[in-house]
Structures are given as C-alpha cells and as structure tokens.
Structure 1
Amino acid sequence: MSKKLFECKRCGFCCQGESTVSLSSDEQKSIAAFLGLSISRFLEHYTVNKGSHIEMKIVNGHCIFYDEKNKLCQIHPVKPFRCRQWPLHPSILKDKDSFEIIRASCPGFAKEATWEEIKTLVKKHEFT
C-alpha cells in the first residue's frame, strides 16, 4: 500500500496572487460550455488577451473563478490542466529548495513526503 503524499486541503493558496493561468483553445471551449456561454462572451468577461496567449483574469487578488467565501473553484470539473496539476508541477520541483518553498505554502503535502518521493510522483504523473 502506498502512502498518500499529497491531498488538496482547499486552502485556496494556489488560486491567489497575481500570477495567472494561460488557457489553451480547448480549455477556453470547455470552460465556456461549462458556463453556458459563447466563446466570445467567455473571453470578453473572464480572460485577458496577452497577444500571444489568453489568461484567466485576476480579481481581488485571486483567480476570477475562485469562490473565496466557500473556498471552491467555480469551474472545478473543467479547470485548466495547469490548475489540476498544481502543486505537482515539474518546474517547481527542479530542486529541493523550490520544493520546500512550495511545501511551506501548501498544506496538502503529507508531512513525511520527501522531495525525492514528490519528484517520483510528478514523473509518473500519478496525480489529477
């Protein structure tokens, strides 16, 4: 039996801040359909066009789809890959220091989880 190395605690940390999530065209279509909107209406109200890519808007210091009161993602069933992946993203696990920074801010990591175990988990893509 393998131990659980990470379990989301719904703290909302990953949905807050000024960094945004870029959306692929498939993600744009999925979210628009989930919200019952046309692509153009979705893009107009919920995203920012950065020229080379489309990003979700940030409102009041968090993702436009983050429900701060209930600590829920309003588009959870269709949230972008980048959001589903967090915090188990290869770029933040490049070294132990990067892992420790994220670990300190994300209560979802098991206390006994090591950098080596998390690296292995990311490489195997055993997360959703």
Structure 2
Amino acid sequence: MISVLPGPFFKAVSRSDHVSDTVEDEIFKCQQCGYCCQGETTVSLNQDDIERLVAYLKMSFEEVRERYLRVTGNVTQMKTVDGHCIFFKDRCTVHPGKPWRCGQWPLHPSIIVDPANLEAIKDSCPGLLRDVGYEEFSRKLVDLLKSGKVKGG
C-alpha cells in the first residue's frame, strides 16, 4: 500500500537506481524516443518513487500529488496528458528523478519467461539491440539480474 505521507528523508538519485551503462552497451541503448512514456496508464509508483519526484521537483508532497499523481485505491501513478505521461514533453522532463520502473524499462524479467515478450517489447522499443537473439538476450538479462545491475520487479 502506498502511504500518503512522504518519508522523513529524501533519497538521492544515483545512476545505480537505473539501467547501468554496461547494460546499455550489452543489450539496450535508450534512444530517448519516449515511446515507453505513451499510453493512458503509467507505471505504478512506490513510496521511494514518490519521494524521489518530490525531492527532484522541489515541491511539497501535496503539490506533487495534486499536480502530477493519480491515486486509485492503493495504486499511485503519474497522470497522463494527451495519451502520454505528464512528465513527457519531447523527452522525460524528470529524468534524474524518474520512477524506478521507468529507469529499468524495458529490461523486464517477463522477457526471460517467454520469447514472445521480448518480441513484443522489441516492437515498441527501438533501444533493444536487434542483433541479439532470445537465448543470448535472456542469458545476459539473467546475469544482469543476478549481478544487481538490473533489479527485477
């Protein structure tokens, strides 16, 4: 359940919270196209994500919640505008403070389970390297998950 109160301390955003440069070199290189920011829903936010946004935006929790967040029951998401994340304007406007899941996309553990998942994600993400086959991609993703360079959701 997402708490409606921010924590007492805000965590600094580090590159380790997002996909590492090594990962980008091996199987993924973000094109910053924003395709992953499109749709009528956005990623679900956890308390750390909310605190990171509050700290990055230098606004109160209440302001961030009112302006940018949509809360439905226990689920908190970023609002959408014109079919994309509210923070997307030609590119992510909160990139250093973006939610954890945004920083991990598209390297989702579901890719390991079914080759069709990799193909579906390749169809929507130009950053996944095309010359890497399913077996090699899965092996590298498993290695990255085990090493902690990518964290499973």
Question: TM-score scaled by structure 2?
Answer: 0.73
Q: Do 2:111 and 2:138's aligned partners in 1 also have CA atoms closer than 8 Å?
A: no
Equivalent residue, structure 1, for 2:103:
84
| DSSP 3-state at the match of 1:73 | coil
In the TM superposition, 1:63-74 aligns within 5 A as 63-68=85-90, 72-74=91-93
Task: Name the aligned partner's letter for residue 89 of structure 1.
Answer: H
Task: Name the aligned partner's letter for residue 48 of structure 1.
Answer: R
Task: Name the aligned partner's letter for residue 103 of structure 2.
Answer: R
Regions of 4+ moved over 6 Å? none
Task: Name the aligned partner's letter for residue 63 of structure 1.
Answer: C
Equivalent residue, structure 2, for 1:75:
94
Matches of 2:106 and 2:127, distance apart in 1:
9
Structure 1 unaligned residues grouped into runs of 5+: none
Higher strand share: 1
The total of aligned residue pairs comes to 124
Which has the higher mean CA deviation after the structures are superposed, 90-99 or 78-87?
A: 90-99
| DSSP 3-state at the match of 1:17 | coil
Q: Do 2:78 and 2:86's aligned partners in 1 also have CA atoms closer than 8 Å?
A: yes
Task: Name the aligned partner's letter for residue 44 of structure 1.
Answer: E
Question: TM-score scaled by structure 1?
Answer: 0.86
Q: Does 1:114 align with 2:133?
A: yes
1:4 deviation in Å? 2.7
Cα displacement string for residues 32-59 of structure 1 (whole angstroms, at most 9, x for unaligned residues)? 1111100011001100111112111111
| Alignment RMSD | 1.9
Distance change (3 Å), C-alpha of 1:101 and 1:21: same
1:75 deviation in Å? 0.9
Distance change (3 Å), C-alpha of 1:6 and 1:23: same
